[in-house]
Amino acid sequence: MSWNRVAVIGAGLIHMGELFDQSYEQMARGAFDAAVDSVDQGFDPAEIDAVFVATQRGTLWGQEGIGGNTIPSAIGLAGVACTRVENACPTGSDAFRVGCMAVASGVHDVVLVIGVEKMRDKSSDEGLLARAAAGHPVYTRGESAPVLFAPFATRHMHEFGTTREMLASVAVKNHHNGVLDPYAHFRNEVTIEQVLAAPPVCSPLHLLDCCPQTDGAAAIIITTPERSADFTDHPVYVAGFGVSTDHPYLHEKSTYVGLPATVEASRRAYEMAGIGPADVDVAEVHDCFTITEILDIEDLGFVEKGRGGVASLEGETALDGRIPVNPSGGLLAKGHPIGATGIAQLTECWWQLRGQADERQVAIRNGFALQHNVGGRGSGVSVVNILTTNPS
Amino acid sequence: MTEHAPAVAPGLFREGADGTLTLVGGRSRSSGRLHFPRSPVCPWTGADDVDDADLPRHGRLWAWTTVTAAPPGYAGPVPFGFGVVEFDDADGVLRVVGRITVAETEALTEGTPMVVVAEVLPTEDGPVTTWAFAPGSGGAP
């Protein structure tokens, strides 16, 4: 595959949380300003010639019909090209991929990818996660996001002996990392005992096995490697990306102990980057539930299928582990403002690769960071992006 | 005897005079594969040669959960059981998701024989009839 390389020159996000005091556009402005301020040698926003907006559910802030195109004027760029991207939970990561293709194609020179999601302005009952299945005749009565993932946990426990303690260890680790992340929604430690004793949601998933509903925004600025020299001496490059789909419904799945869309998306991204899972130094993956991170680290090839629970319990994915996973606190602690999630994960990867992650900094050996989301009603779509410090 | 509550959605199942419920899926003439709910195209091959096809009434429990947090629109009691049941078909197995009539599913085991039954579900819009899976082999096949 021949493609022009893409460089990341800036990235930033706002403090995730319940942001009732900020509008959709105000959140976007905060993330945009953070990304602009992060550019090493200064950045004039007028350089931007295209914006890709990642928002999954505009209905949650009451403006589905115009979702996305209110952003340019909110960030002082009215007139710029602007396109909204929506692709379920990987909305942010796919908007990044689309932005990269716009640069790699030579059509656009400097591109802003910005993810914004209002999750809390509506009640939980009306919220995006509770209504993940709304509109489908079969799924609207009796299903919610945790119900869709609980059977995967049941099967993983049945087939591999995974325990609730192993699931809980993912929440413990990610909350610990969240304490170290100033942008995280939750910044408190939890213990295995607390996770086990939390109120049940749907067995075997209890409250602390589930990510919160979080408002947030994140932004990233990309350009060509040639132009990047105008803005930074320490660019991070896009090594590869991949997208894959699967049957959307649980009953059409070939397996409940893995997500085939993740396997295929990562295979494509690894191939494009010319690396394998062992070359990845750090990963930000989709931990909407504790079981999801266990499936992810297996499907991405970091651990053997079936060992995800044991590897988590034994610390292989901790900040000082063999393959640190979700140093930002992940969706479980940092939060999951859907359109912003992937771009916030990429921002963490950018910080990690540049050695700017402060107390969360992990050892960077090979110069590769992987970012992953999976989503849709039955996890029918996955996106993987790989960043690198290596210029070629 | 089933109460007279409207079906949760049209075209998903057929109710018999004896209170039994038969799930109605589709089968592609070219792929031979059974699917549910009935789609205009075979989900595995994309072929548009699908005919109505009844699902077996008897299957095996494959995955399950006890739902403690009520989903939106649901007005019945919690906890309730929810799970995946496997049905044998000529070309393999078909999995169907739905409610389980046992509220506390922890005592269930993989492979438990399950039978499709009708269940009246309280919702915010009034009661609706849906399908559910009950442990056991009750009734005629």
Q: Which of A307, A331, A363 is nearest to A183 (CA)?
A: A331
C-alpha to C-alpha distance for A100 and A96, rounded to whole angstroms: 6
Tens digits of residue pLDDT in A354-366: 999 999 999 999 9
Chain B residues whose CB is inside 8 A of the A153 CB are: 65
Residue A19, token pair as written in the block? 């942001």
C-alpha to C-alpha distance for A356 and A87, rounded to whole angstroms: 30
Unique residue bearing structure tokens 């908007």: A95
User: Is A372 marked active-site?
Assistant: no
| A380: confidence class by pLDDT, cuts 50, 70, 90 | confident
Residue B140 lies in a domain: no
Unique residue bearing structure tokens 């209002």: A118
Residue B31 lies in a domain: yes
> What ipTM was estimated for this complex?
0.75
Paired with B51 in beta bridges are: B27
Structural domain harbouring B110: 2-135
- Sheet of A381-388, strand order: A81-85, A50-54, A110-117, A216-223, A7-13, A236-245, A381-388, A368-375, A282-284
Residue B67 lies in a domain: yes
Angstroms from A105 CA to nearest CA on chain B: 32
The backbone region for A227, taken as left when phi is positive above 0, alpha when psi lies in -120 to 50, beta otherwise, is alpha
Residue B23 lies in a domain: yes
Residues A275 and A386: beta-carbon distance below 8 Å: yes
| pLDDT of B19 | 87
Distance of CA A34 to the CA centre of its chain: 18
Residue A286, token pair as written in the block? 């989709």
Residue B141 lies in a domain: no
Strand segments (E) across chain A: 7-13, 50-54, 81-85, 110-117, 200-202, 205-206, 216-223, 236-245, 282-284, 368-375, 381-388
Mean pLDDT confidence for A363-387: 93
Chain A residues whose CB is inside 8 A of the B44 CB are: 247, 252
Strand segments (E) across A171-305: 200-202, 205-206, 216-223, 236-245, 282-284
Chain A residues whose CB is inside 8 A of the B73 CB are: 140-141
Mutate to test the interface with B, among A59, A136, A138 (most CBs of B within 10 A): A138
The identity of residue A147, as a single letter, is V
C-alpha to C-alpha distance for A174 and A186, rounded to whole angstroms: 10
Residue B86, token pair as written in the block? 């496997």
Exposed, middle or buried by CB within 10 Å (0-12, 13-18, 19+), for A42? Answer: exposed
Mark yes or no for CB contact B96/A204 under 8 Å: no
- Count of domains forming chain B: 1
| Global pTM value | 0.91
pLDDT greater than 90 at residue A377: no
Residue B75 lies in a domain: yes
Mark yes or no for CB contact B68/A247 under 8 Å: no
Q: Which of A374, A359, A218, A346 is nearest to A282 (CA)?
A: A346
Residues of chain B below pLDDT 70:
1-3, 138-141
C-alpha to C-alpha distance for A62 and B71, rounded to whole angstroms: 22
Residue A16, token pair as written in the block? 């995730």
Mark yes or no for CB contact A130/B123 under 8 Å: no
Rounded to 5 degrees, what are φ and ψ at A29?
-60, -40
| pLDDT of A121 | 83
What average pLDDT is seen over chain A?
A: 92
Tens digits of residue pLDDT in A218-267: 999 999 999 999 999 999 999 999 999 998 777 777 889 999 999 999 99
Residues A286 and A305: beta-carbon distance below 8 Å: no
DSSP SS3 for A96: helix
Residues A271 and A314: beta-carbon distance below 8 Å: no
Tens digits of residue pLDDT in A42-57: 999 999 999 999 998 7
A108, A185, A206, A336: the active-site residue: A336
Residue B62 lies in a domain: yes
Q: Give the percent of chain A with pLDDT over 70.
A: 92
How many angstroms separate the first and last alpha carbons of chain A?
A: 14
| A148: confidence class by pLDDT, cuts 50, 70, 90 | confident
Tens digits of residue pLDDT in A54-95: 998 766 566 666 668 889 999 999 999 999 999 999 999 999
Chain A residues whose CB is inside 8 A of the B68 CB are: 199-203
C-alpha to C-alpha distance for A237 and A228, rounded to whole angstroms: 10
Residue B88 lies in a domain: yes
Q: Which of A103, A107, A115 is nearest to A9 (CA)?
A: A103
Residues B67 and B77: beta-carbon distance below 8 Å: no
Higher pLDDT, A248 or A171: A171
Exposed, middle or buried by CB within 10 Å (0-12, 13-18, 19+), for A15? Answer: middle
Mean pLDDT confidence for A95-109: 97
pLDDT greater than 90 at residue A105: yes
Q: Is the backbone peptide bond immediately before B79 cis, with ω within 30 degrees of 0? A: yes
C-alpha to C-alpha distance for B117 and A265, rounded to whole angstroms: 39
Residues A222 and A100: beta-carbon distance below 8 Å: yes
CB neighbourhood size of B20 (10 A): 17
Q: Which of A162, A117, A126 is nearest to A144 (CA)?
A: A126
**Partner-chain residue, chosen from B71, B123, B130, that has the shortest CB–CB distance to A147:** B71
Dmax over CA atoms of chain A, in Å, equals 56
User: Is A336 marked active-site?
Assistant: yes
Residue B98, token pair as written in the block? 């739905």
Supply the DSSP string of chain B, one letter for each residue. ------BSSTTSEEE-TTS-EEEEEEEETTT--EESS--SS-TTT----EEEEEPPSEEEEEEEEEE-SPPTTB-S-SSEEEEEEEEEETTEEEEEEEEES-S-GGG--TT-EEEEEEEEE-BTT--EEEEEEEES--S--
Supply the DSSP string of A167-184, one letter for each residue. HHHHHHHHHHHHHT-TT-
Residue A319 is classified by DSSP as T
